[in-house]
C-alpha cells in the first residue's frame, strides 16, 4: 500500500491533509478542471484548507501543488528499459514456451521459493515480489522440504529453485523431493548440465562467468541477472493479464 506521506519527507500531515492529497493523486488529470473549490467540495474541506496545505508543503498555491504531485507520481513507460534488458540476452530457456508456462505458474500462485548461499538473496526478492502482486508463496531456506510441504500440502503447486551451480545440496534435495511429489519445478541456474537443470520442468539458464567461484569472491552478474530475468517475466505477466498501475488508497 502506498504511503502518501513518503512524498514529502519529514513533513507531518493530518488525516484531512492526507485525504486531500490522495484525492488529487487519484484524479490527477481532472482536478485542474475541478478547481480548488471542486476539490474542497469532494473532500469535505474548504479552499482555505487546501491553500494552507499547499503553503505547508512549500508551494505558492493550488496549481503549483497539483503540477508538482503530477511530476512526483508520473510513471515512466518502461518498455524501453525492458527491451534494453531483453536485448542483453541475459537468459535462455530449455524450451520455447518456458516463459508462458512460468507465467501460468505465477498466475496460479502457490509457489514455494527456495535457494541457498548468495542465491537466498534472490529467492527472498522473488518471494516478496510474489506476495506484493497478491500471489500465495512460501519461502524455504534450509528448512526441511518435507516439513514445509506437509504444512502447506494444499497450497503448493510448483517449486522455484535458484542455484548458481545447480548442484547445491539443499536445492538438489528439494528438487528431487518435489519431483517425487509431481510438483512443477522451475529453476534459475548457471549450469545447464547440472542436476537441478536436468530435473526441472522449466529452466532459466543465467550466464555465470565464475563457475568455479563457490565463495562468490569475484565480480559476477549472475544474481543480478536472475532478478532482471524475473522482472522481465513479471512485466510479461502484467501485459498478458492487462494489469494496470493501482490507484492510491483512500486516506
For 29-88, the DSSP string reads TTHHHHHHHHHHHHTT--HHHHHHHHHHTT-SSHHHHHHHHHHHHPPP-THHHHHHHHHT
Per-residue pLDDT at 109: 93
Per-residue pLDDT at 50: 95
Could you say which architecture CATH assigns to the domain 79-240? 3-Layer(aba) Sandwich (3.40)
Report d(CA 153, CA 34) in Å as an integer: 53
How are beta strands 202-205 and 92-93 bridged, if at all? Answer: antiparallel
- Under a CB-based contact definition with an 8 Å cutoff, are residues 190 and 206 in contact? yes
Could you say which DSSP state residue 111 is in? E
- CATH 1.10.10.10 spans which residues of the chain? 4-73
In order of 17, 69, 184, 247, the CA distances from 3 in angstroms are 13, 14, 37, 12
Could you say which architecture CATH assigns to the domain 4-73? Orthogonal Bundle (1.10)
- Under a CB-based contact definition with an 8 Å cutoff, are residues 136 and 170 in contact? no
In order of 30, 32, 63, 111, 145, the CA distances from 38 in angstroms are 11, 9, 13, 47, 58
Whole-prediction pTM: 0.75
Per-residue pLDDT at 149: 73
Per-residue pLDDT at 87: 73
Q: Looking at the DSSP assignment, which residues form a beta bridge with residue 113?
A: 139, 160
Cell numbers for 28, please give them. 490527477
User: Among residues 125, 31, 41, 117, which one has the least CA distance to residue 69?
Assistant: 31
- CATH 3.40.50.10490 spans which residues of the chain? 79-240
Report d(CA 173, CA 41) in Å as an integer: 62
- pLDDT, tens digit only, all 251 positions of the chain: 467 878 888 889 999 999 999 999 889 889 999 999 999 999 999 999 999 999 999 999 999 999 988 887 766 566 766 776 777 789 999 999 999 999 999 999 999 999 988 999 999 999 999 999 999 999 987 667 777 777 777 789 999 999 999 999 989 999 998 999 899 999 999 999 999 999 999 999 999 999 889 889 999 999 999 999 999 999 999 999 998 766 666 65
Phi, psi of 212 (to 5 degrees): -95, 0
Amino acid at each position: 500500500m502506498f504511503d502518501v506521506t513518503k512524498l514529502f519527507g519529514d513533513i507531518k500531515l493530518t488525516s484531512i491533509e492526507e485525504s486531500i492529497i490522495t484525492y488529487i493523486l487519484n484524479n490527477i488529470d481532472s482536478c485542474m478542471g475541478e478547481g480548488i473549490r471542486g476539490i474542497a467540495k469532494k473532500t469535505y474541506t474548504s479552499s482555505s484548507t487546501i491553500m494552507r496545505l499547499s503553503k505547508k508543503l512549500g508551494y505558492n498555491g493550488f496549481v503549483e501543488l497539483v503540477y508538482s504531485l503530477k511530476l512526483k507520481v508520473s510513471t515512466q513507460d518502461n518498455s524501453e528499459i525492458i527491451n534494453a534488458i531483453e536485448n542483453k540476452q541475459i537468459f535462455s530457456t530449455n524450451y520455447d514456451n518456458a516463459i508462458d508456462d512460468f507465467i501460468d505458474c505465477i498466475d496460479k500462485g502457490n509457489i514455494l521459493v527456495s535457494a541457498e548461499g548468495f542465491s537466498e538473496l534472490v529467492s527472498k526478492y522473488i518471494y516478496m515480489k510474489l506476495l506484493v502482486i497478491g500471489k500465495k508463496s512460501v519461502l524455504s531456506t534450509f528448512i526441511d522440504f518435507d516439513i514445509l510441504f506437509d504444512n502447506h500440502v494444499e497450497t503448493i503447486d510448483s517449486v522455484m529453485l535458484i542455484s548458481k551451480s545447480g548442484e547445491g545440496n539443499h536445492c538438489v534435495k528439494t528438487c528431487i523431493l518435489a519431483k517425487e511429489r509431481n510438483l512443477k519445478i522451475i529453476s534459475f541456474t548457471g549450469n545447464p548440465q547440472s542436476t537441478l537443470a536436468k530435473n526441472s520442468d522449466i529452466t532459466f539458464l543465467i550466464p555465470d562467468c565464475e563457475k568455479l567461484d563457490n565463495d562468490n569472491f569475484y565480480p559476477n552478474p549472475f544474481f543480478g541477472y536472475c532478478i532482471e530475468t524475473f522482472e522481465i517475466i513479471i512485466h510479461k505477466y502484467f501485459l498478458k493479464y492487462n494489469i494496470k498501475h493501482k490507484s492510491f488508497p483512500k486516506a
